[in-house]
Structure 1
Amino acid sequence: MTAIAVLGNGRVGSNLATALTRAGHQVKVAGRAPGAAADAARTAQLVINATPGAGSLERLAALREELRGKILVDVSNATVDGPDGLPAELLHPGSSLAEQLQAALPHTRVVKTLNTMLFPVMTAPALLAEAPDAFLSGDDPHAKQTVRDLLISLGWREEWITDLGGIQTARATEAAILFVPHVIRTSGFAPFAIKIAR
């Protein structure tokens, strides 16, 4: 059992919190109330960033002390939305939200994952017709192993999880968000994930 704080109580955060609780973890969800995120992060072993990506850097940088020594799992994508509310471009071109978070939080171990799929797949990968891929990006191998174990507790198989390397590799997976609006416009809001065919 891991003590986990989920920052963000929207569809992504609520879905993760429910599934992680069902998997036997001790989960606390922090909404937008003043001080809620700090309180949740302070008592957690692992913190999940499920806040809207456009404001994540500012929100989490303010929790520098609470996140010191913790693993921060970043599942958000920082984008500029188009007129239809869907992602139109990256907020950090040439970089990534994960890299920006790691730079702002040098004493926190940031791991990027689960950001290349619609949120239902994060906690139910077997619902797709073909096995999806989950990618890990981060500089700390022990933190990535902890996150790998967390994904396995959510139903991900070992062979579905690929370690891409250091935190800079997150810029590749974050760029995959630009596929999403086009897929949604052509196929609707049905669960899907990026998969590497081998």
Structure 2
Amino acid sequence: MTTIAILGSGTVARALTGALRRAGHEVLVGSRDPRTAIRAEAGSAVRATGLWEAAGSAELVINALPGSVSVEVLAGLAKALADKVLIDIANATEIDAHGFASAAIYPGSSLAEQLQLSLPAVHVVKTLNTVHASLMGDPSQLAFPPCAFLSGNEARAKGRVAELLGELGWAREWIIDLGDIRTARGPESFVLMVGDLVRALGPVPFGMAIAR
């Protein structure tokens, strides 16, 4: 059992909390408002704490904060995150009038790269940002399997994240290691298609996959 902190208390955090608990892990939810009540899908209460306490108490940390504030907030947690694996699943974009991503906040770079620059003692791994939140812990529900991409500078950190993905139901052949943290730019750009895809397909869960 691993103690995993999810930083953020929105839709993504709620979806992952239940999946991680079913996989046998202890889950802490770090919130900017620690009074926020977080419950797993099964209805079990999950401990909600402040961001610093959650990050400092966990072995693995998942960034599920809004991408627009992630660098600023996580830079303030540098000591609590030092030497840990930070799994970044957020997207940093400007939002249009319909609530969809319209432009990247870090053109020519990526949120994952900016996090790694701001947190040099942390092992940042980008993944899961190309699938709907409901698929992150249950990828087999689609008719065709989606892909989970890995971007990060340290092979051991990416290996640990790949193990965790396997525990969440991701088959090894669905996981693609793209390379170092600079490769996060491609997967992060996928979110710019989401609004058009929702208009074309309707509000159904979907994710990015590579046919081969």
The bucket for the TM-score relative to the shorter chain is: over 0.9
Listed as ranges, the gaps of 5+ residues in structure 2 are 35-48
1:146 to 135, 157, 160: 160
2:125 to 111, 115, 118: 111
User: Hey, what does 2:210 align to over in structure 1?
Assistant: 196
User: Hey, what does 2:10 align to over in structure 1?
Assistant: 10
Does residue 62 of the first structure (1) align with residue 107 of the second (2)? no
* SS of 1:51 mapped into structure 2: coil
Q: What's the TM-score, normalizing by structure 1?
A: 0.98
User: Hey, what does 2:143 align to over in structure 1?
Assistant: 129
Listed as ranges, the gaps of 5+ residues in structure 1 are none
Q: What is the alpha-carbon distance in structure 1 between the residues aligned to residue 100 and residue 50 of structure 2? A: 28
CA deviation string 1:68-118 (max 9, x = no partner): 011000000000001111100101010000000000000000000000111
Q: What is the alpha-carbon distance in structure 2 between the residues aligned to residue 124 and residue 189 of structure 1? A: 17
2:59 alignment partner AA: Q
1:95 to 104, 109, 112: 109
Question: Which 4+ residue blocks in structure 1 deviate beyond 6 angstroms?
Answer: none
Q: How many residues align?
A: 198
What aligned pairs does 1:13-52 form with structure 2 within 5 A after superposition? 13-33=13-33, 36-52=50-66
For the aligned residue pairs, the C-alpha RMSD in angstroms reads: 0.9
1:83 alignment partner AA: A
Q: What is the alpha-carbon distance in structure 2 between the residues aligned to residue 20 and residue 37 of structure 1? A: 18
CA deviation string 1:12-48 (max 9, x = no partner): 0111111101110111011222770000000111100
Q: What is the alpha-carbon distance in structure 1 between the residues aligned to residue 51 and residue 14 of structure 2? A: 15
2:91 alignment partner AA: N
Q: What's the TM-score, normalizing by structure 2?
A: 0.92
* SS of 1:47 mapped into structure 2: strand
